[in-house]
């Protein structure tokens, strides 16, 4: 017997999650809320996204507010969620939607928006506009491979899994409630068909599940072995003046953490930096009023494609020379730091540098 949407929808009507971006039963979903939450959820878990979602809505209650915000304010509100290119795309997308007078209501229009890929377009189309499409995220992928006992490993099998997932929404009951059906699949994956130990006894599709019948559900989806994550090294310098102001600079617009602020430092490379090499990148040449640099320790930060080890050094200067701004330096008050577009990596470096006063030896 194939998995019947009616069984899943009946279960969803009893067990649906209450989420801040989700419309109540019988109410229409707000496309701004759906889009914002979906972009945020690409980075992390529901629990981690909820406070960010509330903060964003407090600061930018509508897509027009977000479109008209300063990019720095958007980046600052996003800081901590990672993948900063997505924050820039989020801003660009809000501006495109604002210019067009609202979100496009069809897949082609949604796919043309900056930062909106097939999954996000399908999620908005199904949840906010009631199009009968099945958005395939990690949860839906997992449920599908288990339901049909698809054992070919991901990512090579991703397309075939997505095609199979689309068939789940073919029945009339799913086409009549596309928004609920998509969210029911998400909830099933998040709460019942979980990665390590699926609760098959509680699953509305247990009777139709080939993976459960064959006893292989927990081993699916099969995944090709991952290549080891490469390691990179860098050094960053925390320089503060007597008033506690800290020297920062802006990263180039393009590339990792593009446009975010950082402590001055070296590039990040595969080879470890010697002290001599690293110190050719200090932000101020030796001068009167500059304390000796002190090693504060190491910060390790895991990005998707590599692990970064950053050696942090700190020093104090009586006051910053006026020329520091011409060299791209930004002098920021200690109390301003919380509101700035600083990535988590830099917050870790600042925290490490703040553990001891580098002016004291």
Is 299 in contact with 312 (CB distance < 8 Å)? yes
CA-CA distance, 141 to 123, in Å (whole number)?
14
> Per CB under 6 A, does 185 bind ligand SF4?
no
Instruction: Find the DSSP H helices in 177-312.
Output: 178-191, 210-214, 275-279
Interface residue with ligand SF4 among 5, 82, 169, 211 (CB under 6 A) is: 211
Which region, judged by CB under 6 A, interacts with ligand SF4, from 87-95, 104-112, 199-207, 255-263? 199-207
For residue 122, the minimal CB distance to ligand SF4 (Å) is 20
> Per CB under 6 A, does 9 bind ligand SF4?
no
For residue 142, the minimal CB distance to ligand SF4 (Å) is 8
Task: Tell me, by CB under 6 A, how many residues bind ligand SF4.
Answer: 14
Instruction: Find the DSSP H helices in 238-294.
Output: 275-279
16: closest CA among 153, 177, 151? 177
Instruction: Give CA angle at 120 (117, 123), nearest 5°.
Output: 145
> Per CB under 6 A, does 41 bind ligand SF4?
no
CA dist 319 → 236, 288, 309, 323, 325 (Å)? 20, 10, 30, 12, 13
> Per CB under 6 A, does 217 bind ligand SF4?
yes
> Per CB under 6 A, does 216 bind ligand SF4?
no
> Per CB under 6 A, does 209 bind ligand SF4?
yes
CA-CA distance, 17 to 93, in Å (whole number)?
28
Which region, judged by CB under 6 A, interacts with ligand SF4, from 52-60, 123-131, 190-198, 306-314? 190-198
Per-residue burial over 213-227, b if 16 or more Cβ lie within 10 Å, else e, is: eeeebeebbeeeeee
> Per CB under 6 A, does 205 bind ligand SF4?
yes
Element (H, E) at 148: none
Which region, judged by CB under 6 A, interacts with ligand SF4, from 17-25, 198-206, 284-292, 303-311? 198-206
For residue 127, the minimal CB distance to ligand SF4 (Å) is 21
> Per CB under 6 A, does 134 bind ligand SF4?
no
CA dist 263 → 240, 251, 356 (Å)? 11, 10, 17
Which region, judged by CB under 6 A, interacts with ligand SF4, from 35-43, 67-75, 170-178, 201-209? 201-209
Widest pairwise Cα distance in the chain? 81
For residue 220, the minimal CB distance to ligand SF4 (Å) is 8
Site residues for ligand SF4 per CB under 6 A:
143, 146-147, 192-193, 198, 200, 203, 205-206, 209, 211-212, 217
């Amino acid at each position: 017997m194939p998995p019947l949407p009616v069984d899943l929808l009946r279960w969803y009507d009893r067990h649906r999650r209450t989420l801040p971006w989700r419309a109540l039963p019988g109410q229409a979903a707000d496309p701004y809320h759906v889009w914002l939450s979906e972009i945020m959820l690409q980075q992390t878990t529901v629990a981690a996204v909820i406070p960010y979602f509330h903060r964003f809505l407090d600061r930018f209650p509508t897509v027009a507010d977000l479109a008209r915000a300063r990019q720095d304010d958007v980046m600052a509100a996003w800081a901590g969620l990672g993948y900063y290119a997505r924050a820039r795309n989020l801003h660009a997308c809000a501006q495109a939607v604002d210019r067009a007078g609202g979100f496009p209501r069809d897949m082609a229009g949604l796919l043309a928006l900056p930062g909106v890929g097939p999954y996000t377009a399908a999620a908005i189309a199904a949840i906010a506009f009631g199009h009968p499409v099945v958005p395939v995220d990690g949860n839906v992928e997992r449920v599908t491979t288990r339901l049909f006992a698809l054992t070919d490993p991901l990512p090579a099998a991703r397309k075939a899994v997505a095609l199979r997932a689309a068939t789940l929404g073919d029945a009339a009951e799913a086409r009549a409630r596309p928004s609920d059906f998509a969210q029911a699949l998400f909830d099933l994956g998040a709460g019942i068909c979980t990665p390590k130990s699926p609760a098959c006894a509680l699953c509305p599709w247990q009777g139709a599940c080939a993976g459960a019948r064959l006893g292989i559900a927990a081993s699916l989806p099969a995944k090709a072995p991952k290549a080891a994550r490469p390691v990179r090294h860098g050094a960053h310098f925390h320089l503060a003046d007597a008033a506690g102001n800290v020297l920062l600079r802006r990263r180039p617009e393009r590339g990792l953490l593009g446009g975010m602020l950082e402590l001055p430092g070296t590039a990040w490379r595969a080879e470890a930096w010697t002290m001599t090499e690293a110190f050719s990148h200090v932000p101020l040449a030796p001068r009167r009023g500059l304390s000796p640099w002190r090693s504060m320790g190491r910060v390790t930060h895991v990005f998707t494609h590599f692990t970064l080890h950053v050696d942090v050094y700190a020093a104090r200067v009586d006051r910053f020379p006026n020329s520091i701004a011409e060299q791209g330096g930004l002098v920021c008050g200690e109390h301003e730091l919380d509101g700035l577009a600083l990535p988590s990596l830099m917050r870790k470096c600042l925290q490490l540098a703040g553990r001891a006063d580098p002016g004291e030896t």
